[in-house]
Amino acid sequence: MQNIPSAQDLHDQILHHLTHSQGRGPEFATPFDWRMAISYAVRDLMAGTWVDAFRAARDQGAKRVCYLSMEFLIGRMLGDAIINLRLEQPMDQALQMLGLDKQQILDNEPDAALGNGGLGRLAACFMESLSSLSCPAFGYGIRYEHGLFRQRFEGGQQVETPEDWLNQPHPWEFVKVDYSYTIGFKGHVETVDGKAVWRPGESVIARAYDTPVIGWGGNWANTLRLWGAHPTTLLDLHRFNAGDHTAAAEPEALARTLSRVLYPDDTTDAGKELRLKQEYFLTSASLQDILRRFLQEHGDLRLLPEKVAMQLNDTHPAIAGPELIRLLMDDHGLPFEEARDLARGTLNYTNHTLMPEALERWSTWLMGGVLPRHMQIIQMIDEDHRRATGRPPHVGIVQHDQVQMGELAFIMASKVNGVSALHTDLVKDTVFADLHRLHPDRIVNQTNGVTPRRWLRMSNPGLAQLLDDSIGEGWTTDLEQLRRLEPHADDAAFREKLGEVKRANKVWLADGLLADLGVKADPDAIFDIQVKRIHEYKRQLLNILEAIALWQRIHDDPNGDWTPRVKIFGGKAAPGYWLAKSVVHLINDVAATINNDPVTRRFLQIAYPPNYNVSMAEDLIPAADLSEQISTAGKEASGTGNMKFTMNGALTIGTLDGANVEIRDLVGPENFFLFGLTAGRAATEAATPGHARRAIEASQDLKNALHLISEGRFGRAESYYALLDRTWNDDPFLVASDFDDYFATQRRIDAAYRDSATWDRMAALNIARSGFFSSDRTIRGYMNDIWQVRPVAI
């Protein structure tokens, strides 16, 4: 544990940076100036550890992890750094001395939203755990100028505006201008002296922007290295002097588009040349950087698999296989076989989805046009694999003139992992069944996790304090210690304290919902929360249809003894995903109607705060009584939102999907509200003709709810024709088939919530048994089963 500075030291350092880094006197400083000064003062406290950690790993010749990901959904950094450096108390005092409002300062920081959802947030949790475990690692990503779009609602419909977090200086990063690499595209391949030489037609420079990621206690820090694209030639001075000012800047404009925007859709194959170029940009820059450092440290390329473990977060960086072979063959003169073995010895691939539309495929002409040398190498890998395995003809990387990135990643990996037990089984049985038969030891499971520093200690300080008081602080780095809470679940005094913490969080959230949305949320109601990307398989539609049906039931019996409920939604729809956008519209329309109904408003309120992001998740999750994890079984690879809620004492209503299965096993089936078809039965049902219509006809509640939408009860019916048509006639995600079970389970929850002793006991047991879902456990699993990397001490 490093030395913790005093409040006076912090106070002085903040004032120092206000003058010397911000150029402002205290009497003129804005919240932004203060936030910058504070961030620099905090950054000073991690830079030393960061440099020392890098030196220690180098001096010890340690094996390193390189985590390649197109997305890092980091959120805000200041609060997290304060927590991990253990500065809460002196910082609170220092801010008090300066007369500053901590919440205002923290809220001044924009979210680093360099990701879409779960996949990007997983990468961010992994970076934090890697540092907290002193595991030497680099995270590699892209420094998008514009992260995930901002969401607003107009007339209930989603409107996207660009996100612009880099419009202001970013205090956490260090630019490393000397780490710059040329990335080529297009052109052609020549043969010179019998060897292939790629002559790219375009090129850009990738420049390193480093952010230290500090671990718990400030004992270790790794680097998140994000690549920014820069032109190889800055300005065509010739054309500029000739007066053609716009054309003169063209190379610059072209280059910058590469790191300009994050693709706002992580669940369909974008099929865009720019996307392929971005993926190659990330991968090539990272591999060139990794090889440069490796050669400096070790020299002998044959040691590569002993010294570097690379993890590909989904197939987005799967071009790493051919790129590494290319660098080893074309730049370092190794024969194909040796290059292939070295590449396969270092690469590993995480699969995140089974949905066919989300598996990346590129046409061979696009791949051959953008990356002609790589297309050759892909064909060599494919042919080599065919010869080595004698595989059947329908198996392989190139099929029907398409390069299948999943197959490429699999074939070039030492280990392939799924992200929950159920998902890994399905990976073996479905997408990679043929390859699994050929390589039965390659697929392993690593169930996802989340970091308890951010998702408990930072976001839920009330609960963190109660945990510290009850079982000590050890849970922060050893989340299994939460087990020691189990006996407290039967202690009425403890349950009361737990209830008070939850209620305080709900009051705080209710104040915010009233101020921001005008929604009156009763803190004694069930806070029922579904926050995640809007997607058909995640079934927000099921949730809002249940709200409509409940609303009707209350109308039928307005003097009934209903359990008040506040339904809270949060999430963005991909801009081109029309059905998801009409679900957003429907939720807002239904909320507008129901919230103002004088008969029901005491019992049912709906809130949909716009622009769900990491910071909003940190506000919402600690205030949840009920976590909605209701995806169609077999569709959600793991989920991590489900884990955050469980740790924060929310009970889950969920299907047997992804990590829900493991959550239920661990917390106990009696402490989890299960409903819905299993993955196997769901697949059969979805394949049965007429399943949707039959299920709707059998459910009076559902049929009524759908009729109300068709009648225009919640805004113009035309807005919902496509959605209604899909539900009646297709319903591939089985909203109708699971509706009655879902509705009935919600009514059981209404009843259970009324017995607060029992409810709080269940909540306590959910917390106590959530230790498995720490990303520390996940990272240890990767370190032992996949990477063979050991922690390093400074």
Ligand X SMILES: *Cc1c(COP(=O)(O)O)cnc(C)c1O
The 644-663 site mask, x for binding ligand X (CB under 6 A), equals: x-------------------
Total residues interacting with ligand X, rule: CB under 6 A: 11
Q: Is 644 a catalytic residue?
A: yes
Q: Nearest to residue 437, comparing CAs of 481, 377, 394, 480?
A: 394
Among 447, 632, 640, 652, the one annotated catalytic? 640
Q: Is 640 a catalytic residue?
A: yes
For position 79 contacting ligand X by CB under 6 A, the verdict is: no
Q: How far is the CB of 104 from ligand X (least distance, A)?
A: 22
Q: Is 186 a catalytic residue?
A: no
Q: How far is the CB of 125 from ligand X (least distance, A)?
A: 8
- Report yes or no: 216 and 231 within 8 Å, Cβ to Cβ: no
- b vs e for 81-106, b when ≥16 Cβ sit within 10 Å of the residue's Cβ? bbbbbebbebbeebbeebebebeebb
Among 230, 277, 532, 664, the one annotated catalytic? 532
Q: Which is nearer to ligand X, 317 or 654 (CB)?
A: 654
Q: How far is the CB of 644 from ligand X (least distance, A)?
A: 6
For position 457 contacting ligand X by CB under 6 A, the verdict is: no
Dihedrals phi, psi of 450, to nearest 5 degrees: -130, 155
The single-letter DSSP state of residue 717 is G
Listed ranges 116-124, 140-148, 598-606, 772-780: which one lies at the site for ligand X (CB under 6 A): 116-124
> 7-20 and 31-59 are packed helices; what angle lies between their axes, rounded to 10 degrees?
110
Q: Which is nearer to ligand X, 565 or 635 (CB)?
A: 635
Q: How far is the CB of 248 from ligand X (least distance, A)?
A: 41
Q: Which is nearer to ligand X, 185 or 612 (CB)?
A: 612
Q: Which is nearer to ligand X, 153 or 562 (CB)?
A: 153
For position 118 contacting ligand X by CB under 6 A, the verdict is: yes
**Overall size of the chain counted in residues:** 794
| Rounded-to-integer distance, Cα 770 and Cα 353, Å | 24
| Rounded-to-integer distance, Cα 786 and Cα 415, Å | 6
Q: How far is the CB of 570 from ligand X (least distance, A)?
A: 8
Q: Nearest to residue 373, comparing CAs of 502, 188, 551?
A: 188
| Rounded-to-integer distance, Cα 403 and Cα 376, Å | 12
Q: How far is the CB of 513 from ligand X (least distance, A)?
A: 18
Of residues 513-572, those binding ligand X (CB under 6 A) = 532
Please measure the distance between the N-terminal and C-terminal CA atoms of the chain and give it in whole angstroms: 11
Q: How far is the CB of 534 from ligand X (least distance, A)?
A: 10
Among 502, 533, 567, 769, the one annotated catalytic? 533
Q: How far is the CB of 121 from ligand X (least distance, A)?
A: 4
Dihedrals phi, psi of 164, to nearest 5 degrees: -140, 55
Query: Which residue is associated with the tokens 């003139």?
Result: 401
Listed ranges 63-71, 223-231, 461-469, 638-646: which one lies at the site for ligand X (CB under 6 A): 638-646
For 147, the token pair is 């992260």
Among 76, 121, 428, 488, binds ligand X (CB under 6 A): 121
HEC profile of 370-382: HCHHHHHHHHHHH
Q: Which is nearer to ligand X, 121 or 567 (CB)?
A: 121
For position 344 contacting ligand X by CB under 6 A, the verdict is: no
For position 640 contacting ligand X by CB under 6 A, the verdict is: yes
For position 783 contacting ligand X by CB under 6 A, the verdict is: no
Of residues 597-636, those binding ligand X (CB under 6 A) = 613-614, 617
Pinpoint the alpha helices (H) of 482-539. 492-517
Task: Name, in order, each residue with C-beta under 8 angstroms of 620's C-beta and a sequence gap of 6 or more.
Answer: 509, 529, 531, 568, 570
The 411-430 site mask, x for binding ligand X (CB under 6 A), equals: --------------------
Q: Is 532 a catalytic residue?
A: yes
Pinpoint the alpha helices (H) of 249-371. 250-256, 273-297, 304-307, 320-326, 336-346, 364-370
Collapsing DSSP to helix, strand or coil, 160 comes out as: strand
| Rounded-to-integer distance, Cα 315 and Cα 359, Å | 8
Q: Is 72 left (phi over 0), alpha (psi -120 to 50) or beta?
A: beta
Among 418, 639, 649, 715, binds ligand X (CB under 6 A): 639
Q: How far is the CB of 545 from ligand X (least distance, A)?
A: 19
Among 147, 228, 641, 771, binds ligand X (CB under 6 A): 641
Q: Which is nearer to ligand X, 280 or 673 (CB)?
A: 673
Q: Nearest to residue 279, comparing CAs of 309, 323, 329, 234?
A: 323
Q: Which is nearer to ligand X, 309 or 614 (CB)?
A: 614
For 91, the token pair is 């910082």
Q: List interacting residues with ligand X (CB under 6 A).
A: 117-118, 121, 532, 613-614, 617, 639-641, 644
Catalytic residue IDs: 352, 532-533, 538, 640, 644
